[in-house]
Amino acid sequence: MARRRQIYEGKAKILYEGPEPGTLIQYFKDDATAFNAQKKGTINGKGVLNNRISEHIFTLLAGIGIPTHFIRRLNMREQLIRQVEIVPVEVVVRNVAAGSLSKRLGIEEGTPLPRTIIEYYFKDDALGDPMITDEHILAFGWASQEELHDMADMAIRVNDFMSGLFAGIGIRLIDFKLEFGRIWDNDYSRIILADEISPDGCRLWDMSTGEKLDKDRFRRDLGGEVEAYQEVARRLGLFPEGADSAVLDLETHRKRRGK
Ligand code: UDP
């Protein structure tokens, strides 16, 4: 079989050349990293779950008019996407204090924020993704004023939609990270949502118990990562093919640990 050309390998995904010009295949790995890849591990079945969860959320977002790179899911670990020029900026949206915000500003995790906060980080592993402001983005030309406006606008719409989606299944959307890309049509370009939306890049807390259903289970050595991701998929109404053997519900996991 002819080998597909690999375009890029990141921490959690691999990009391959797509079947048509302007398309790519996004492959979801089980690899997990945290703290700028200082902590590395594998979460068996994560790729399958993230592929499915991201497909679901991107499809729903397209339904409310958010343009995304997602075309269709191809199999358990792969999806066909539009090739974009990635904007080197990570857009973080926060509803509740957690993670780096809590640490930096001394605000207790779980404190609701007085308003939704958008933050920007420069996508550069060697620099550890430093926080930046819109001034840096504009000064260094990473995005134009109009593109920045479009990204912030979409980020707020995604937040409103996802907050409701997760609230409906008993999950608090604490914060999340988005990435955007540029697509060209002759001399014109526009910004679309890219990358993925999954428990790898969101903080999701169970509304009644406060239990973490996201990558903090890995970052903080809490265990039960797959079970948590599976719980998110299950509540979203997704039953990933083939992932069930790798997956236990949280109750079973707790029993296994004898708690
Ligand atoms: N996030 C991410 N990739 C990153 C940094 C952050 O997906 O490189 C997500 C993270 O999962 C969380 C949100 O963005 O949902 C805010 O993360 P934070 O700034 O608190 O960083 P952390 O403490 O998680 O490193």
The tens digit of pLDDT for each residue in 53-106 reads 999 999 999 999 999 999 999 999 999 999 999 999 999 999 999 999 999 999
Angle between helices 145-167 and 46-63 (to 10 degrees): 110
- Count the neighbouring beta carbons within 10 Å of the beta carbon of residue 8: 11
pLDDT band at 34 (very low <50, low <70, confident <90, very high): very high
Question: pLDDT digits over 39-58, tens only?
Answer: 999 999 999 999 999 999 99
Cα of 201 to ligand 1 centre, how many Å? 6
Cα of 176 to ligand 1 centre, how many Å? 7
Pairing relationship of beta strands 188-194 and 171-185 according to DSSP bridges = antiparallel
Cα of 174 to ligand 1 centre, how many Å? 11
Q: For atom 11 of ligand 1, which residue has the closest CA?
A: 201
In total, the chain counts a number of residues equal to 259
User: What is the reported pLDDT for 250?
Assistant: 56
User: What is the reported pLDDT for 239?
Assistant: 74
- Start-to-end Cα distance in the chain: 49
* DSSP 3-state of 51: helix
Cα(95)–Cα(229) distance, rounded to whole angstroms? 21
User: What is the reported pLDDT for 136?
Assistant: 98
Domains of the chain and any CATH numbers: 86-206 (3.30.470.20)
Cα of 121 to ligand 1 centre, how many Å? 10
pLDDT band at 255 (very low <50, low <70, confident <90, very high): low
User: What is the reported pLDDT for 3?
Assistant: 75
Cα of 195 to ligand 1 centre, how many Å? 14
Residue to mutate, 46, 54, 92, ligand 1, most ligand atoms under 8 Å from C-beta: 92
Q: Could you tell me if 147 and 87 are in contact, meaning their C-beta atoms sit under 8 angstroms apart?
A: yes
Question: pLDDT digits over 98-137, tens only?
Answer: 999 999 999 999 999 999 999 999 999 999 999 999 999 9
Cα of 99 to ligand 1 centre, how many Å? 7
Cα(68)–Cα(48) distance, rounded to whole angstroms? 20
Using the predicted structure, report yes or no on whether residue 247 has a pLDDT greater than 60. no
Cα of 25 to ligand 1 centre, how many Å? 25
Q: Show Cβ contacts of residue 64 under 8 Å, excluding neighbours closer than 6 positions.
A: 157, 161
Residue to mutate, 175, 204, 215, ligand 1, most ligand atoms under 8 Å from C-beta: 175
Share of the chain above pLDDT 70, in %: 92
Q: Which residues line ligand 1 (CB under 6 A)?
A: 90, 92, 98-101, 129, 175-177, 201-203, 215
Q: Which amino acid is at 89?
A: V
Q: For atom 13 of ligand 1, which residue has the closest CA?
A: 176
Using the predicted structure, report yes or no on whether residue 245 has a pLDDT greater than 50. no
Q: Which amino acid is at 248?
A: L
User: What is the reported pLDDT for 179?
Assistant: 98
- Count the neighbouring beta carbons within 10 Å of the beta carbon of residue 212: 21
Return the DSSP state at 210: -
Q: For atom 20 of ligand 1, which residue has the closest CA?
A: 99
The atom of ligand 1 lying closest to the CA of 92 is: 14
